[in-house]
Structure 1
Amino acid sequence: MLSQNNFTFEDYLFWNKISASLMFPIYVFAMLGNCIIVAATIKSSQLRATCSIIIAIQAACEAIYPISAFMFMFFALTEQLHTYQECYWIQFVPLAAANIAMNMMPMVALDRCLSFGAPLWYRRKNAKLYICCLLTFPVAYDIFLKVLGYQYANEELVVCVIPTGLAGVAARVWSYTQGPVAVSVLVLYVAIRIYTKSVHIQSMIIINLNKSLQKIMFVYLCGYTVVAAVNFLGVLFSTNPYVINTLSSLSGIFAAINAASPVVILYLQSDMYRKEIDALIKKRPVAVFSTT
């Protein structure tokens, strides 16, 4: 059915309904879970470390861009179409959040590498300036794509979802750059694994947090590898825009799993996050955390 020669506009609408229905419940959970991470970070005095702030920034982005999935669900089921120009503006904020969130995972991994590799400098750094520096690339990446995307927005009709917020060259650049993001996460993931095995860390808080982040990075690595591969192969081997856009929509299921994974992993793996989340949800005082 996905043969590009026989893939019709009706097939495109059908598969968008399938992908929207599969993504919707995952993104609802992702939005709620990431809102919990942000709220716990704001409320808790225990989550004031630089790494926790970076995690909260990424969670905030991953709580925003699921809004796109809710719009996509409505557009797909009602077969409502928009031009690329209209979709560019409809997805402007969700796409920005998705771009920043995608590029924050390498920044989280880089933060862990710096904390291991240059501990003295890391403890003495200016936290606000440091976080701003880490945000520079994700924000610049989104601005670049937005400027490029504006140049190629056209009047072709599509079902509006995050990938169709960009058209033409901008969409191809977006697809191709997901590969390097996955590679950077892989390299930093391996570096963290090697370092944590070679260095004795006494704090159980840090040990559990690092294990949590390694698991999140692994999920992201798998998810974005699939997303990047599907989008890249679609653009590379198909000239049928319905096939390309359908594959992009289906790959969004793996992006949804990525967005939903942090709250689950942090809650199950990190005692610190579990205590703070429990305290937030159950509205009870947090017990004194023991590192022994």
Structure 2
Amino acid sequence: MFEDVHPWMIPLTFFYMIIIPIGVFSNLIMIICFFINPRLRSPFHILLTLTCLADGIHVCGQIVFVVQLLTNTYSYQSTCYFLNFFPVIGLTIAAPLLMEIGLDRLLAVSFPIKYREFQFQKVLYTSIHLVFPILYTSSILYLGFMERNNELVKCAIPTALAGVSFKVFTLSSHVIYVSIILAYLMTAVLLKFHDTSSRFKAVFKSIGVTVGIVLFGWAITTVSNTFGYFVTDDFEIFNLIQMYSGITVNIAISSNLLIFYTINPEYQMTVKMLLDGSFGKLPTFTDSASELQNLRKNTKSQDS
């Protein structure tokens, strides 16, 4: 079965056979929680749910890779692009969404009164946050489409993007990750000086832990991908570096449910009620923005 396969590819097969169902299940439950709990309908939770959707689709991109390894088959790189079209969307849009979530939290703490007003224009406010992720992802997809070729490859997410498109994605990711770190650090510092509700702190802590794990995974991945160009000219070895560096990311994006269930009482309650079938008794929706009025008790309103 694996006669013509590099021996270091074999452990990856078994890793992805385990992580794929875990990642799909974890993010699917997070998405279900959004739909069954009316309290999770704020713009923040919309962005978070879209991130979980992106992560779930991303991890599904390893299915083609596993099938081709098990069957010892290859595909043209151009075919691989289309086979992993949606997983590439999940791959590229997730980091910009995390950045927008960070900006949302920063805005909530910095301008609570104005932020509350934005919650009454949910569609417009959320749409503005989606502009950059959509434009960024569309640009990467366009570059990947223009670079399609007929080279035979083991189809994985990294091989779906060839040449310049993957380099642009890798290098631009560094800028996005730095922006994410700055947004969350600024929010954390501001929270130290303001009296916030326990619910708001739980939300920020859970997303903060998620972002931290994801950033750690992506840091390893992007650094490996960047320096991989300087380490070897062998395409097979470079492909191995890409695949192994993606292990941490796949673990991170498959951990959303575990993190939010452990830290965030809202998701913990929703998951428990989902399991025992009592989610119909969930309380009616109360926009979390109303809690933000207490973020700055000793600060003047922006409108004054």
Q: TM-score, normalization: structure 1?
A: 0.90
Measured in 2, the distance between the counterparts of 1:243 and 1:11 equals 15
Q: Residue 107 of structure 2 is aligned with which of 107, 114, 117?
A: 114
Aligned pairs (5 A) from 1:208-227: 208-227=202-221
Letter in 1 for 2:7: F
Per-residue displacement from partner, 1:114-173 (whole Å, max 9, x unpaired)? 111111111111211111111111111111111111221111111001111111111211
Deviation at 1:81, TM superposition (A): 0.8
Measured in 1, the distance between the counterparts of 2:13 and 2:203 equals 33
Deviation at 1:281, TM superposition (A): 2.1
The corresponding residue for 2:60 is 67
Aligned pairs (5 A) from 1:76-87: 76-87=69-80
The corresponding residue for 2:295 is none
Letter in 1 for 2:32: A
Deviation at 1:12, TM superposition (A): 6.2
Measured in 1, the distance between the counterparts of 2:203 and 2:192 equals 15
Letter in 2 for 1:121: K
Deviation at 1:11, TM superposition (A): 8.4
- Whether contact under 8 Å (1:17, 1:77) holds in the other structure is no
* Correspondence 1:135 to 2:130: yes
Per-residue displacement from partner, 1:186-228 (whole Å, max 9, x unpaired)? 2122112211212111x22111111111111111121111111
The corresponding residue for 1:19 is 12
Per-residue displacement from partner, 1:50-93 (whole Å, max 9, x unpaired)? 21111111111112222211221111222211111111111111
Farther-moved stretch of structure 1 (183-192 vs 110-119):
183-192
Deviation at 1:20, TM superposition (A): 2.8
Gaps of 5+ in 2: 285-290, 292-304
Measured in 2, the distance between the counterparts of 1:96 and 1:220 equals 17
Aligned pairs (5 A) from 1:263-274: 263-274=257-268
Overall identity of the aligned pairs, in % = 24
Deviation at 1:14, TM superposition (A): 2.6
Gaps of 5+ in 1: 1-9
The corresponding residue for 2:27 is 34
Measured in 1, the distance between the counterparts of 2:103 and 2:18 equals 31
Measured in 2, the distance between the counterparts of 1:232 and 1:54 equals 29
Q: Residue 167 of structure 2 is aligned with which of 134, 153, 172?
A: 172
* Correspondence 1:189 to 2:180: no
- 3-state SS in 2 of match to 1:244: helix
- 3-state SS in 2 of match to 1:80: coil
Q: Residue 280 of structure 1 is aligned with which of 268, 274, 279?
A: 274
The corresponding residue for 2:41 is 48
The corresponding residue for 1:5 is none
CA pair 288-91 structure 1, distance change in 2 beyond 3 A:
closer
Measured in 2, the distance between the counterparts of 1:13 and 1:281 equals 43
Deviation at 1:288, TM superposition (A): 6.0
Measured in 1, the distance between the counterparts of 2:206 and 2:133 equals 22
RMSD: 2.0
Aligned pairs (5 A) from 1:246-261: 246-261=240-255
Aligned residues: 281
- Whether contact under 8 Å (1:12, 1:242) holds in the other structure is no
